[in-house]
Amino acid sequence: MSSPGNEQYIQPHLFPEPGRYGFEPEKTYESPEDAVEALKAGTDRVTTLAVERRIWTVRALVNGIRHQIETNYTDIWVEGEISNCRSASSGHIYFTLKDGESQLAVVVFRRQAALSRFRPTDGMAVLVRGRVSIYEGRGELQLIAEILEPRGAGSLQLAFEQLKERLRAEGLFDTERKRQLPAFPKCIGIITSPSGAVVRDIVTIVRRRHSRLDLLVYPATMQGESSPDSVAGAIRWFNANSSLVDLIVIARGGGSLEDLAPFNDEVLARTIAASSIPVVTAIGHETDFTIADFVADLRAATPSAAAELITTAQHRVEERIQELTSRVERAGRFHLIQARQDYIRLSADSVFDRLHNSVGRREQHLDEMRLRLENCIRRHLQFPIGRLAAFTERLYRHDIPVRVGAIHRRLQNSHQFLLNTFSQTLTARRIRLNHATTRLEALSPLAVLSRGYAIVYAANGSLLRTTNQVTPGELVRARLAHGTLEAVVMHTTSPETGNGDE
């Protein structure tokens, strides 16, 4: 055996002997990395490396994997269909989230289930936000859900998708047909409601970024059944007077799917596509998309963003300076965010969150034990009930009154004994379950706080255990059963002498 620091990693005899069938002799390597590189390069047949063996306990391995998963998958969204949904008596909800090929166990703890706006059912398509963890009792991967959102499309959405696919097939969305915007426009034609806040926002931004740019506003109806014809008429008017403007902007504020439905009109979409003047759409908020957005030469997320896009060339130099300044500010904010995240990981709230998660996992284990107990009771009852049915059938086949009476009395006695035994067993199990629940609740730090105790922290966040850690006039923070409070130390007493400091 080689001495430490001078180990050699030898190819094991998992292939034919050296020299046979054209195989090369064994080779040695100075480190595992060299052997892995030889395998990747295909220059040698390395299959395993002689490394020091580490033996894990099942609990340590599961906890280690759980820690890695909870660190890397803390806030994710998962979409799928609910199956095997069941609600426990503790208030937790358990179900399986699946798609065509895979499935994932999901648990919604009592606090999140109470805040949910709907109750999940089998077959429902949902979007789940939460964090991935591992349930130690079974070593099972599960998603601890924080937010549930139902998925589905209505009639307006269906009509939107059908029109979108039809126009896409005709090529109205193709990138090749979209025109470049003029870099230095002299006049912009704006189609919007003259009484809304959209005009004021656009005028404010344009005057701040490019005061020499002219704006020509065409008042149009931006909501209701007459809106598509009004906006299409404005586009045709600008095209008939193309010498007045260099660019057309269709602007509207945010709204619901019904409010934005006029901009999913087919006639309006074809009018935008036929315009000889480039068209920019700024409809709704950043997440709102309409058919007009896909047909237009450019889509802006908001009306304010459209005003910035059409004045980009004028501010290219200023934006470069602002970009350099912003980089410095972002770097500072990044370091500040990192420092805050480090503080959050060490703060008391984070500790209490981990304690809540630990209690939740134990409650989940308790739910599983309760379910196993109920299944065990049902299994034990099936056999006596079956025997009772068999005895009853045998009695029907024998028409002897005396034997019928005797057997009937024996059956009654056996049935009463069975009921008594079942009642005693169930009572004993319930007492054990109640004792376990009581002990679990007694171990909760919140139960200790609810009896009037408090946890006191110094101003720097450290836990106070003795009066020597603070001085009069120093600010401290106390965590109670419900909420926190801050106080100023007025007087302290030495734990050794009992003398106080003012």
**Domains of the chain, CATH where assigned:** 1-53 (no CATH), 58-150 (2.40.50.140), 167-311 (3.40.50.2300), 348-443 (no CATH), 450-501 (no CATH)
The one-letter amino acid at 270: R
Most confident of 20-29, 171-180, 232-241, 375-384: 232-241
Residue found under tokens 């009930």: 385
> CA-CA distance, 13 to 39, in Å (whole number)?
15
> CA-CA distance, 489 to 473, in Å (whole number)?
5
DSSP state of 463: B
- Convert the pLDDT of each residue in 278-328 to its tens digit: 999 888 887 778 888 899 988 888 888 888 888 776 666 566 677 888 888
Give the model's pLDDT for residue 95: 93
Q: Which of 364, 472, 325, 309 is nearest to 145 (CA)?
A: 364
Assess whether pLDDT exceeds 80 at residue 230. yes
**Hey, what are 472's tokens?**
């009069």
- Mean pLDDT across the stretch 336-361? 75
DSSP state of 467: G
Inter-axis angle of helices 316-346 and 348-397, nearest 10: 60
> CA-CA distance, 341 to 344, in Å (whole number)?
5
Our measurement of the distance from residue 142's CA atom to the centroid of its chain's CA atoms, rounded to an integer in Å, reads 13
- Give the model's confidence band at 144: pLDDT under 50 very low, under 70 low, under 90 confident, else very high: very high
Angle in degrees, CA 333, 334, 338, rounded to 5: 115
Residue found under tokens 């005895």: 391
Assess whether pLDDT exceeds 70 at residue 498. no
- Give the model's confidence band at 49: pLDDT under 50 very low, under 70 low, under 90 confident, else very high: very low
Q: Which residue has the higher pLDDT, 147 or 37?
A: 147
Assess whether pLDDT exceeds 50 at residue 8. no
Residue spans of beta strands (DSSP E) within 378-444: none
Query: 271 and 169 in contact (C-beta within 8 Å)?
Result: no
Residue 190: Cβ within 10 Å count: 29
Angle in degrees, CA 9, 15, 17, rounded to 5: 95
Assess whether pLDDT exceeds 80 at residue 351. no
Name the phi and psi angles at 92, rounded to 5. Answer: -75, 155
Give the model's pLDDT for residue 27: 53
Q: Which of 366, 372, 375 is nearest to 107 (CA)?
A: 366
Assess whether pLDDT exceeds 50 at residue 15. no
Query: 80 and 119 in contact (C-beta within 8 Å)?
Result: no
Residue 256 zone, left/alpha/beta (φ > 0; ψ -120 to 50; rest): beta
Our measurement of the distance from residue 358's CA atom to the centroid of its chain's CA atoms, rounded to an integer in Å, reads 20
The pTM of the whole model exceeds 0.85: no
The percent of residues in the chain predicted with pLDDT above 70, rounded, is 80
Assess whether pLDDT exceeds 90 at residue 237. yes
> CA-CA distance, 92 to 111, in Å (whole number)?
8
- Convert the pLDDT of each residue in 78-111 to its tens digit: 998 888 899 999 889 999 998 867 889 999 999 8
- Convert the pLDDT of each residue in 401-449 to its tens digit: 667 777 888 889 998 999 999 999 999 999 999 988 888 877 777 777 7
Q: Residue 209, SS3?
A: helix
Inter-axis angle of helices 266-274 and 227-240, nearest 10: 10
Residue found under tokens 């100075």: 30
Average pLDDT across the chain, whole number: 79
**What sign does the dihedral 35-37-43-46 (CA atoms) show?**
positive
> CA-CA distance, 476 to 465, in Å (whole number)?
12
Q: Residue 404, SS3?
A: helix
Residue 38: Cβ within 10 Å count: 16
Element (H, E) at 233: helix 227-240
